[in-house]
């Protein structure tokens, strides 16, 4: 074939593939296809290939760039209330298996990882706290929430009810308003379980939006109405335990402490001294209160500071670490929530890690984390290697860790593989 014909054939093949892709993303309406405008948000729809082969069934989101979120690939599922109740039983049985006694404070439903796309459910002792982030799950709440309460009641778990934390900006992408408050099943809703209705309608004192949990032997107040996201970050549970093992006898600086979880684990693990730092005054006050909950032995070895770590760490480096910190914990919030800003986020991670490595004495310890799935494992480790080189130190890796198993990583869904936590000795 002449070179020009070969180029033309290649160009035509590319155009054909592009047309097929466009057709899959936005099929033309014909007599066999219901127009999207005729379907309400949250409708249950089948997804088929161009040849008509069944690919799965999911929830329609007309406002979102993700038009359909799959909930099953089984063509025989009927999507009755029993279907959703069965899926909830699977998620709860999984948590009881992998978390054991720690299931009293755990993530019960992790969105796509549990095939409940756009739904987060965290258990904090006697309360379930939810975030509903897709139109489909919003429409299914009477069925799913009623089934949740029924499953827990039948398992002997007494719950005050379900508290919704739908104060999330991304709901606007689904055409949903932001709301918060105790959930109550619509009266006369046939889709919700009777036991679920009774439990949901009795949330005790609705003004009380704080509950207590115990994690790794550490006690916490959880303000699920006002804390970040659902009130407490459960995914670092076992990473905190790993930090506690290294903390004995050390002077610890916990940066971005939030409500004090890493700091408290370090203090309870036998640290000589722990300074908990956060930019939020309300977070520091909650961390201080959590320290009081754990007794004078813990509180007497802790200090609490409101500061921006981008100011604090350079100052500690400049002053040559006068407080002799030999263990630094970096657990910042996600520096990026999109691919567009990954470059600036990487510079932020590199800055704080470089400073920490410069501050630590040889033989000191570093725990460093990232909760952004856009900052993938390889990029995060490459950044750490470059920071170490610039700081003139070598890193001896102790462990590379991820999120607790109540936040399962599902292969093929990269968004579920988001948390990085690496422990090093600086040598």
Least confident of 150-154, 187-191, 358-362: 187-191
How far is CA 238 from its chain centroid? 15
Q: What is the DSSP letter of 101?
A: G
- Residue 319 belongs to what domain range? 235-426
Is 52 within the bounds of a domain? no
Sheet containing 161-166, strands listed edge to edge, beginning at the edge strand earlier in sequence: 105-110, 119-124, 127-132, 161-166, 179-182
C-alpha closest to that of 383 among 335, 318, 319, 337: 335
Nearest to residue 369, comparing CAs of 422, 405, 409? 422
Regarding whether 351 and 271 lie in a shared domain, the answer is yes
- 390 and 276 fall within a common domain: yes
- Assigned domain for 229 exists: no
Give the DSSP per-residue string, 127-189: EEEEEE-SHHHHHHHHHHHHHHHHHHHHTT----EEEEEE--GGGGGGT---EEEE--PPTT-
**Within this chain, do residues 251 and 335 fall inside the same structural domain, yes or no?**
yes
Quick one: pLDDT band at residue 36, thresholds 50, 70, 90? low
Residue 384 pLDDT more than 70? Answer: yes
| Chain segment 251-275, per-residue pLDDT in tens | 999 999 999 999 999 999 999 999 9
Mean pLDDT of all residues belonging to the chain: 90
From 106, 255, 369, 371, the catalytic residue: 371
Mean pLDDT of 336-349: 87
Are 175 and 254 found together in one domain?
Answer: no
15/105 same-domain check: no
Residue pLDDT, tens place only, 83-134? 999 999 999 999 999 999 999 999 999 999 999 999 999 999 999 999 999 9
pLDDT at 51: 84
Whether 288 and 420 map to the same domain: the answer is: yes
What's the pLDDT score for residue 39?
A: 85
- Between CA 154 and CA 221 the distance in angstroms is 27
Question: What is the number of structural domains in the chain?
Answer: 3
What residues contact residue 59 under an 8 Å CB cut-off, 6+ apart? 42, 43, 44, 45, 68, 69, 71, 117, 118, 134, 135, 136, 137, 139, 140
Same-domain status, 263 and 376: yes
Residue 66 domain flag: no
362 closest CA partner among 395, 331, 329: 395
Q: Write down the pLDDT at residue 28.
A: 47
Same domain, 362 and 278: yes
User: Is pLDDT at 12 greater than 90 in this prediction?
Assistant: no
Torsion of CA 80, 81, 84, 87, to 10 degrees: -100
Residue 16 has pLDDT above 80, yes or no: no
Q: What is the mean pLDDT of residues 151-155?
A: 97
CATH number of the domain to which 418 belongs: 3.40.50.150
- Residue 96's H or E segment, with its range, is helix 81-99
* 139 plus 269 within the same structural domain: no
In a domain, 345, yes or no: yes
- Closest CA relative to residue 278, chosen from 262, 295, 297: 262
152 within domain boundaries:
yes
Rounded CA separation 46/208 (Å): 43
Same domain, 104 and 8: no
Classify residue 133: in a domain, yes or no.
Answer: yes
421 in catalytic set:
no
Q: Are residues 320 and 253 in the same domain?
A: yes
Edge-first strand order for the sheet with 251-255 is 302-306, 273-278, 251-255, 327-330, 365-370, 420-426, 395-401
Residue 193 pLDDT level (bands cut at 50, 70, 90): very low
Classify residue 344: in a domain, yes or no: yes
pLDDT confidence band for 367 (50 / 70 / 90)? very high
Give me the pLDDT at residue 401, please. 98
Last residue of a domain, one of 183, 200, 217: 200
| pLDDT value of residue 2 | 66
Write the pLDDT tens digit of every residue in 210-221.
999 999 999 999
Is residue 371 assigned to a domain?
yes
Asked if pLDDT for residue 276 goes beyond 60, the answer is: yes
176 lies in the same domain as 270:
no
Question: pLDDT at position 22, please?
Answer: 46
Could you give the C-alpha distances from 26 to 62, 156, 269, in angstroms and in order? 12, 47, 56
Q: State pLDDT tens for residues 227-254.
A: 889 999 999 999 999 999 999 999 999 9
The whole-model pTM stands at 0.87
Confidence of residue 419 (pLDDT cuts 50, 70, 90): very high
Give pLDDT, residue 49: 87
| CATH number, domain containing residue 123 | 3.30.750.80
The domain boundary residue, chosen from 173, 200, 227: 200
């Amino acid at each position: 074939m002449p070179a020009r014909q070969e180029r033309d054939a290649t160009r035509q093949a590319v155009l054909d593939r592009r047309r097929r892709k466009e057709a899959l993303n936005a099929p033309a309406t014909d007599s066999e296809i219901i127009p999207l405008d005729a379907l309400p948000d949250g409708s249950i729809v089948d997804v088929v290939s161009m040849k008509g082969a069944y690919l799965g069934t999911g929830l329609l989101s007309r406002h979102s760039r993700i038009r359909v979120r799959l909930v099953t690939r089984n063509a025989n599922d009927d999507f009755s209330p029993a279907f959703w109740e069965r899926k909830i039983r699977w998620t709860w049985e999984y948590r009881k298996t992998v978390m054991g006694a720690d299931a009293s404070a755990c993530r019960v439903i992790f969105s796509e990882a549990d095939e409940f796309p756009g739904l987060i459910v965290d258990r904090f002792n006697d309360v379930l706290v939810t975030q509903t982030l897709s139109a489909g799950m919003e429409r299914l709440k009477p069925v799913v929430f009623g089934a949740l309460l029924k499953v827990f009641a039948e398992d002997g778990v007494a719950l005050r009810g379900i508290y919704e934390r739908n104060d999330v900006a991304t709901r606007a992408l689904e055409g949903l308003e932001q709301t918060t408050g105790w959930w109550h099943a619509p009266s006369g809703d046939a889709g919700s379980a009777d036991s679920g209705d009774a439990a949901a309608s009795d949330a005790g004192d609705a003004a009380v939006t704080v509950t207590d949990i115990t994690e790794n032997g550490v006690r916490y107040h959880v303000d699920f109405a006002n804390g970040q996201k659902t009130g407490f970050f459960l995914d670092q549970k076992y990473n905190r335990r790993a930090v506690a093992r290294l903390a004995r006898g050390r002077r610890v600086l916990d940066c971005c402490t939030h409500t004090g979880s890493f700091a408290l684990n370090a203090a309870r693990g036998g640290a000589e001294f722990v300074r908990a730092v956060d930019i939020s005054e309300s977070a520091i006050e909650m961390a201080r209160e959590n320290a009081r909950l754990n007794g004078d032995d813990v509180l007497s070895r802790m200090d609490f500071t409101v500061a921006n770590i981008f100011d604090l760490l350079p100052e500690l480096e400049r002053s040559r670490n006068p407080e002799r910190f030999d263990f630094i914990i970096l657990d910042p919030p996600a520096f990026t929530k999109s691919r567009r800003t990954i470059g600036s986020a990487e510079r932020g991670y590199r800055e704080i890690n470089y400073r920490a490595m410069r501050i630590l004495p040889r033989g000191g310890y570093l725990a460093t984390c990232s909760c952004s799935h856009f900052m993938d494992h390889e990029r995060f480790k490459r950044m750490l290697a470059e920071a170490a080189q610039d700081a003139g130190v070598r890193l001896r890796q102790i462990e590379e860790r991820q999120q607790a198993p109540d936040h399962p990583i599902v292969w093929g869904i990269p968004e579920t593989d988001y948390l990085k936590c690496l422990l090093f000795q600086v040598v």
